[in-house]
Amino acid sequence: MQTIAYTKEILAELSRTIERMDDDEAENLVDGMQRANKIFVAGSGRSGLMAKAFAMRMMHIGLDPYVVGETITPNLESNDMLIIGSGSGETKSLLSMAEKAKSIGASIALVTTNPTSAIARFAAITIEVPAQAKAEGTSGKSIQPMGSLYEQSLLLFYDSIILRLMEKKELHSDTMYGRHANLE
């Protein structure tokens, strides 16, 4: 198969995956984000990169987002939300964060391929991404290696959450440029 054919298959996989996601849970996440004072995001590896992209867009629409582990991240409080992106839902460092957030009383959301995972037990909101994670035998087989389909779906899902928040806040892309970095 040539490169463009692979691209078409990736797009087809993404379409099939997104079609199977639960819109009601997505709306619960949007509502929770609107109620939260600060929003913290976490993920490991490529999922963490998707979380950082999500945090950037949240800042662009006027929310107060932070990436867990960054040097300028403030303390988590009970009126805040922690959004974890974890394909397996079992990553030890992320599980520890969920436990800590729960003990503080913060709201926890998990976007995962494994809605019955250890982290899911702490989450008030769990959004299942029916895609292949790293391990074989998970739902949603893919031609792509490891967790690529999950990670791509995660980015698209996060961008869709931003669009929904923009709609609810009556924001347009041109108004977001005022918050875009301009030091370059």
Q: Name the residues annotated as catalytic.
A: 151
* 40-65 burial code (b ≥16 CB/10 A, e <16): bbbbbebbbebbebbbebbbbbebeb
Residues 6+ apart with CB under 8 A from 125: 25, 28, 29, 32, 107, 108, 109, 110
- Whether the CB-CB separation of 36 and 80 falls below 8 Å is answered with yes
Q: How far apart are CA 48 and CA 87, in angstroms?
A: 11
- Could you give the CA distance from residue 64 to residue 40 in angstroms, rounded to a whole number? 9
Strand partners, 109: 83, 125
Distance between CA 10 and CA 148 in Å, rounded?
10
